[in-house]
Structure 1
Amino acid sequence: MLGRNEHKILERAVGLLKSRDVTGVDYARCAARLTYQLCSAYYLPELERGLIDYGKNLIGVNYVSSNDELVVAFLDDFALDNRGLSEQYLIELCRSYDKVFYIVNRPPPIHRGSSISKIIAEYCNVEVKFVAGLNVDEKIKSICSLLQSTNAARVFCHLSPWSVEATIALSTMSGLKKTLIDITDHNFWLGASIFDDFIGFRDYGRVLAVQERGISPDKYMVLRYYPILPSKVVKFDLNVPSTAVVLFSGSNFFKIYGDDGRFFNLIDEILTENSDAYFVFAGSGNPIKFKSFWSRSQNKNRVLLLGPTNNIAGLFNRCDVFVNTYPHFGGLMTHYAVSLGKPVVGFRGVYAHNFAEDVIHETCDAQISIADQSEFVSFMNALIRSDVKRKEHANSCKKYIRDHDDFHRDFGEIKASGFVANAPLTATSINILAVKSLYSEIESKWMGYSDMIIVSELGWSFILKNPFWAVLFFTKSAWKLARILFYRISKGRVA
């Protein structure tokens, strides 16, 4: 359920969209981002109806006429290496269709030397197009024009959860099958009422789509992905003793914030019980909470914080155990660990979305996620203290390694089915209230990004024109600044 203030922004968005006011699109994006940040809903039908109405008023209906099922478009908001599943799907579409129009929903270029640029160079049946436009309406019209020019039979969409321009444009398209690649199955995204079918990567996402988004189970298919690994692994140097057992984890910091800092406390307990263990974290985002915790720990000299790295394979090779993040696990990182032959384990707690086995394989019986805290600590201790145990566990995971051939086979089955899911819905129990409560805690106690989202989407004028938001924003900003200054003065830091 949306909070009172978020609901006001949603109402404002819907009203402006109905009156054909372009600022309604900004409000819609803001409402979508806030809903995602707080995980306060999984589907906002009134917002989607507003976006559909805006598209009808702006453009009407765009018809795409194609009799060639082997010509498709791929609309991608990112076109970045290791961002979502851009590389996996671009490769697959090039392998499975005669012609692929790769429509990038951002300004050019695609960086030279990137994995995506190499894929484009390798396949002769892909043509790249960039969405143009200086404002919202121009971007919407550009997406529509590009899709019409392709005469594609189907468009596969790889979008951010708040991709309002793409959602509006797609809602106007007729005669074109629209498939959403569900890369954020655990949270809110736009388009549940707009797409013809959906491809996720685990059973959890399918169950959530049916229960919370109102999507028919035969419209949601599951296609488990695989990691894109470098052809050559470069050595990664860590400043740790040669005898150290290296525990590695990594993600955006929000994945380890929440549940009263339970992830930090678990790692701290494990380090205390194993004097030869070192913990390495490669993260992006806001590290202040991370640094603050470890600066107070007796184990701070055995904790290394790294920034984002392009040599993730080298870092995995240097570590001994991959520890999944909590309270949100990392699916792609789990795949990396398994594919690179490392033992992987994570604490799951009460959250069904942390069942990492579901991402690897539908029948995976390797002990990758553990619900009981004591059992998790005990298992971690066993891995740290025994190289044999680590090898055994790594081998138990290794049989579930997936590659592009597995992905190609499974996609072929989806394609042959006419994009109809025939598998029965799995009996996955999801505690929605617990998940939403977790997100609320992360935002209120750990992140506090909601006000920044409002400023970035609606501008300072919104804050200054609304007394309630002005007082709230400046009070929170002053408190944040005070905490940052106190932290820097105290010189708390992690090596």
Structure 2
Amino acid sequence: MTDSYNLSAMVAMKNNCSHVIADYAKMKRIARKFYQQRQWELSLQTIFIASGFMYTMNQIQCDRELEDLVCEIVAQNLIPTDWQAPAGNTIIYYDGLGQIGRGLTYIYMNALVHLGYQVKYITYEANQHVHAVAADIVGEANVWYITGTTYLEQIKQLNMLLADSQAHAVFLHLGPDDVVAVGGFSHCPTTLKRYLINLTDHAFWLGTNIADMVINFREFGWKVCMERRGFQPERLLYLPYYPKKTDSVFEGLPFQNLSDKLIFSGGALYKTESQDNGYYRLVESILDTCSHVNFLYLGNGDTRRLRKLQHRYPGRVACAPERRDFFEIMKHCTLYLSTYPYNGGLMTQYALLAGKIPVTWIHPGIESELTLCHEESCWNYATMQECLEEVKRLLENDSYRLEREQNLRRFLIDELQFEQELQHILQTGKSVRVPKDKMIAFDGFQILPLENIQGFKYRRLFFRRHGLYMFRFFPLKYVSGMLEAMFQKLIK
């Protein structure tokens, strides 16, 4: 625990943690019971719910018992398949999330194609919205869809696609609860090298059993995999990512006044939620102190706090879901304000790419490493007051701000470096960069969910798609979760 938490808070957190672990253990028992009854789909669905639950609450970072249970189910049901021997330079990119736009999937597939590999992209039929982008990168014939309606159907279909692919390697881009990937990739021959991209390096995820190698985008993820997921160093790689440039037309700003000062902020709104309401207190302090500045937030989630700011500062505060021209907005802003208590890694990198200072208030126990040369970064602050003073100075002193904006891109890897280092990994099984053995800040990643996700929000975790049967085991939590889900839909 960090010093910022008093004794009573520590006791409350301990009680909350015990409650979380007890509910999670019950979910695991339910999954095992369904397995013993040969109710395979219900067992897999319960594993899906349990892993999503622990991803959100984040009291542990992996669970091999759950992964082993998935493998046991698959072993009972998978029809033996004749695997085609690897041929040529074919690589599979499995995208369980269906996200290409500007994230890791795009830069990995783009790099692999540039390096001369034939990439076969596998995702789900529900993700056909990515078809045009995927086909543009890898070719129409190399976009493959999993079309089954049950977990077992999808696992079997994935296994058949892999067997026919003649690939020698696969890159895994998974959600934390991807039971299909865990099942489908657990019965592959050793000729298929499995590289798992560590997407959410701070949180729980399924997939330790299907990762021959884990690619981490920062030293922090490498360290967490060793200390909290039990990986040996020789199975860990380190490859930073870069923000993909986006081409879009600037669509203007939603402000009526003519202020030339704009603070831009954005990302999923859960990253701004904390018991102390710190992020919104900081924004209020900035708007109170700097009467000439406007504030724009782009992101999805609960916008009630932002709407309160709009009411309090009419004409100066605007919020909206993510816009296509967000990078153009970044280039037009005066500075970027990172979210708090969870800082945004990709948005920080886009700010640096645009030459804007990503002013960041660091929460105790939350690792602040988001870029290269992290130790030399000059935009992180330990207190709200320090952050506020820096924002004021950047807004009021143009020459100071312009000086600070020089050479920000040195904190980013570029596209060519990324491709070269990825090729080195594929050819040698090792990364160019060697992470430093250092202390990491982690306890905040466990404490904050316990603080922020209580009451109806906590019970919402028991109401998941295809999970009506959970009412039998958690009746009050299920009904409360359903009501919370309905409320969230109403306020959007």
1:90 to 97, 101, 109: 109
Q: Which amino acid aligns with 1:414?
A: I
2:470 corresponds, among 437, 462, 466, to 462
Look up the match of 1:443: 453
How do 1:246-395 and structure 2 match up within 5 A?
246-292=262-308, 294=309, 298-299=312-313, 301-353=315-367, 355=368, 358-362=369-373, 365-395=376-406
Contact 1:204 1:428 in 2 (8 A): no
Structure 1 residues 173 and 265, CA, compared in 2 at 3 Å: closer, same or farther?
A: same
**Equivalent of residue 417 in structure 2, options 406, 416, 422:** 406
SS in 2 for 1:178: strand
| Contact 2:421–2:432, Cα closer than 8 Å, also in 1 | no
Deviation track 1:218-239 (CA, whole Å, cap 9, x = no partner) reads 2111111111212454343331
The counterpart of 2:152, out of the listed 137, 140, 156, is 137
Amino acid at match of 1:194: I
SS of the aligned residue for 1:73 comes to strand
Q: 1:473 to 1:288 in 2, by over 3 A?
A: farther
> Is it true that 1:127 corresponds to 2:142 in the alignment?
yes
2:53, 2:322 → 1: CA distance?
A: 25
Partner AA of 2:178 in structure 1 = S
**Is the alpha carbon distance of 1:108 and 1:381 closer, same or farther for their aligned partners in structure 2, counting shifts above 3 Å?**
closer
Identify the range of structure 1 (361-370 vs 219-228) with the bigger mean alpha-carbon deviation.
361-370
Pick closer, same or farther for the CA change 1:241–1:81 going to 2, 3 Å: farther
8 Å Cα contact 2:159/2:185 also seen in 1: yes
- The match for 2:100 is 81
User: For structure 1, which segment, 370-379 or 452-461, has the greater mean C-alpha deviation from structure 2 after superposition?
Assistant: 452-461
Give CA deviations for 1:112-155 in whole Å, capped at 9, x if unaligned. Answer: 6x54443235xx9x711111212111100010000110111111
Report if the CA contact (8 A) 2:266-2:339 is conserved: yes
Q: Secondary structure at the match of 1:193?
A: helix
Task: Specify the SS of the correspondent of 1:326.
Answer: coil
- Shift in Å, 1:18: 5.0
* Offset at residue 360 of structure 1 (A): 2.2
- The corresponding residue for 2:166 is 151
Equivalent of residue 186 in structure 2, options 159, 171, 175: 171
CA offsets per residue over residues 223-274 of structure 1, 9 Å max, x none?
Answer: 1111121245434333143234111100111011114211111111122111
Equivalent pair of 1:324/1:347 in contact (CA under 8 Å): yes
The answer to whether the Cα contact below 8 Å between 1:17 and 1:51 also exists between their aligned partners in 2 is: no
- Residue aligned with 2:441, SS: coil
- Secondary structure of 2:265's partner? strand
Give, in angstroms, the shift of residue 479 of structure 1.
8.0
Measured at CA, do residues 479 and 342 of structure 1 come closer, stay the same or move farther in structure 2, by a change above 3 Å?
A: closer
Conserved 8 A contact 2:103-2:243: no
User: 2:338 touches 2:360 (CA, 8 Å); kept in 1?
Assistant: yes
- Which residue number in structure 2 is paired with residue 11 of structure 1? 29
Deviations 1:176-200 (A, max 9, x none): 2111111111111101122101111
2 CA distance for matches of 1:423 and 1:32?
31
TM-score of the two chains, using structure 1 as the length reference: 0.87
Q: CA deviation at 1:106?
A: 3.5
Report SS of the residue matched to 2:158.
helix
Displacement of 1:33: 0.5
Assess, with a 3 A threshold, how the Cα gap between structure 1 residues 477 and 158 changes in structure 2: closer, same or farther.
closer
Tell me which residue corresponds to 1:59: 78
Deviations 1:390-447 (A, max 9, x none): 2222224133343311211221222232246872543032333x321101222127xx
- 1:272 and 1:299 in contact (8 A); partners too: no
Alignment of structure 1 residues 415-434 onto 2, 5 Å: 415-419=426-430, 423-432=434-443, 434=444
Structure 1's 171 and 111: CA in aligned 2 closer, same or farther, altered over 3 A? closer
> Alpha-carbon deviations, 1:331-350, whole Å to 9, x = none?
11111111112221111121
Counterpart in the other structure of 2:91: 72
RMSD of aligned residue pairs (Cα, Å): 2.8
Matched, 1:184 2:189: no
Is the 1:247–1:321 Cα contact (8 Å) retained in structure 2?
yes
Q: Distance in 2 between matches of 1:179 and 1:336?
A: 26
TM-aligned CA distance change 1:390 to 1:440, over 3 Å: same
| Structure 1 Cα separation of the partners of residues 483 and 232 of structure 2 | 47
Counterpart position of 2:224: 208
Give distance in 2, aligned partners of 1:91 and 1:350: 37
Q: Which amino acid aligns with 1:341?
A: G
What residue is the counterpart of 2:64 in the other structure? 45
**Percent identity of equivalent pairs:** 22
- Say which SS state the counterpart of residue 429 (structure 1) adopts: coil
CA distance in 1 between partners of 2:154 and 2:120 (Å):
17
Q: Deviations over 1:298-318 (max 9, x none)?
A: 445522111221111222122
